[in-house]
Amino acid sequence: MPDPLSQVIQLLRPRAVFAKGISGAGRWAVRYSEFGQPGFCAVTEGRCRLAVDGEPPVVLEAGDFVLLPATPAFTMSGFEPAPPTRIDPKTAPTPDEEVRYGRQDGPPDVQQFGGYFVFDAPDAALLVSLLPRMIHIRGVPRLVQLVQLVGEEAARDEIGRDLILARLVEILLIEALRSVPGEAGPPGLLRGLADPRIAASLRTMHADAERSWTVSDLAREAGLSRSAFFDRFARTVGVRPMEYLLTWRMAVAKDLLKAGGIALDEVARRVGYGSASAFSTAFSRHAGMPPGRFMRAGVEPHPISAAGQLG
């Protein structure tokens, strides 16, 4: 049976854009405004502070990994008070070499690899909303190694670079997300997959999106009564079962339409609609435009500055 987490990441279509060494020494602090794209960092030496808006501040240590799927505003700093340097990652110029904050000479107090990537999926925001807002993982050396590989590959200018980076970022995402203790996290996909009953219904939806599912059908797959399943799914995943199913179907539909070469009635069939007209009505309500116009227009990611790394 399909793995919903892997399917969501594949459908998000992550594309590596920027990765660079980052260090700090002495008195330093940087304040980044909201960015919206996924940012990450792995600390390889030393320690620093990270305060993400809406989350409790944390101390990052060597071996720590942080992923912000939609990068809200944040402040990163050393441990001595310092006025923050304000940076707008959407307009700041791209650094050509390792970024150094604070004292420019001598050994750094912290060393990390940081970067960001973009999701090429047309429905990225909806899928990202199913993931934790901030992921902080300690004691998983493989994540630090993967970030270093991303940084090394990003610095190269060789054939196959973009494909390798895309695959490395996919692996990085899967490794990070499966390292999160889902049962203790906020409502979302990871917490749903950590609940054996709810995970059964999620896998069923992902395995057979074209089936005309009802809440009662999904409850039977989960081995729960209809009311118990509905309440447990909404509490665990953060949305009602049919809302999740619609989100997944429309994400799949947008991916198929963007790829092109598939008749509208076949797209409709693959996402559980009995006719192209019924699908068009549902799609227009969800996307704000009919599928034909969506397919003709295409959806391209907005160009962004490469200064939006976490750090």
CB atoms within 10 A of CB 231: 13
Which of 238, 161, 252 is CA-nearest to residue 205? 252
Half-sphere exposure of residue 302: CA atoms within 13 angstroms, side-chain side: 8
- pTM (predicted TM-score): 0.81
Q: What pLDDT score does 264 carry?
A: 93
Domains of the chain, earliest start first: 4-180 (2.60.120.280), 189-297 (1.10.10.60)
Strands (E) across 78-218 are located at 85-87, 99-102, 110-119, 135-137
Burial 199-213 (b: 16+ CB within 10 A, else e): bbbbbbbbeebeeeb
Q: How far apart are the first and last CA of the chain?
A: 39
pLDDT bin (cut points 50, 70, 90) of residue 306 is: very low
What is the mean predicted confidence (pLDDT) over 122-127? 80
pLDDT digits (tens, 9 = 90+) for 230-277: 999 999 999 999 999 999 999 999 989 988 888 999 999 999 999 999
Both tokens of residue 50? 């990270």
Burial 67-86 (b: 16+ CB within 10 A, else e): bbbbbbebbbbbeeebeeee
Q: Is the pLDDT of residue 80 over 70?
A: yes
pLDDT digits (tens, 9 = 90+) for 198-233: 999 999 999 999 999 999 999 999 999 999 999 999
Give every CB contact of residue 254 below 8 A, 6+ residues apart in sequence: 121, 122, 123, 287, 294, 299
